[in-house]
Amino acid sequence: MKQPLIAPSILAADFGNVRSGIDTIRNAGGDWVHLDVMDGHFVPPITFGPKMVADIRGYTDALLDVHLMVDNPERVVDVFIEAGADLVTFHLEAVVHAHRLVQRIRDAGKRPGVAIVPSTPSWAVRELLSDIDLLLVMTVNPGYGGQSLIPRCLEKVKEVVAMRRDTGAGFLIQVDGGINATTALDARNAGVDVMVSGSAFFSADDPALYIATLRGDANRSA
Ligand code: DX5
Ligand code: ZN
């Protein structure tokens, strides 16, 4: 089985010392850096804006995976692209013209992603599958780290895997929320390509070993 990419989220890092959080991700062998942007509307909390992304861009050459949990993402995608995001994922539930926004991100030379919350069915993304680089199937209701994975969401991942096969599309399938050493096995079995991990990553005694465990690396995991 192909090993998934791992995208630790700085949401669980110390925001007063973000560089240390980035170092932890890089030193542990994380593949991407996941950046959770929350606006206090689409989800209750507020996290950070484009300056944080630009400052992180100035510090690392890691792939910056920006997850926009914001209303009206069409108003802000440009500033996050200018800030240095590599991959820009917005929520299907937050826009009417998702297809147009996907094209705009691609025309700017960035990789477009679309996210769906647990209550959105997998078939809702059907018309976007050949246009996106990433589909984020949220495995918790977005807004907070440290929640438990909702098992039904991994069934949606399996549905998306089948839709991808049927359409011949080539996007990556990402899961985000409640990923830990136990749920990662179920996520891998469901067929995910990229796993986000926040609280379990930053509370791990050995982050490198934790990442190996998420990947299912038999030579390294505990
Ligand atoms: C939640 C965020 C996640 C969060 C995951 O809405 O989108 O990226 O960091 O945190 P854990 O891994 O703690 O569930
Ligand atoms: Zn996220």
Q: At 175, is the pLDDT very low, low, confident or very high (cuts 50, 70, 90)?
A: very high
Nearest in space to 11 (alpha carbons), one of 135, 175, 177:
177
Tens-place pLDDT, residues 182-203 = 999 999 999 999 999 999 999 9
Tens-place pLDDT, residues 124-160 = 999 999 999 999 999 999 999 999 999 999 999 999 9
What pTM did the predictor assign?
Answer: 0.97
Whether the per-residue pLDDT at 222 is higher than 60: the answer is: no
Query: How far, in Å, from the CA of 140 to the mean position of ligand 1?
Result: 8
Nearest in space to 160 (alpha carbons), one of 111, 114, 186, 125:
125
Residue 4: CB within 6 Å of ligand 1?
no
Fold of 5-215: TIM Barrel (3.20.20)
Helices (H), 1-127: 18-27, 50-57, 77-83, 98-107
For residues 108-131, b (16+ Cβ closer than 10 Å) or e, as one string?
Answer: eebbbbbbbbbebebeebeebbeb
Residue 147: CB within 6 Å of ligand 1?
yes
Pocket test for ligand 1, best of 176, 180, 201, 210 (most atoms within 8 A of CB): 176
Annotated domain spans of the chain:
5-215
Pocket test for ligand 1, best of 6, 64, 196, 199 (most atoms within 8 A of CB): 196
Residues acting as catalytic residues = 36, 176
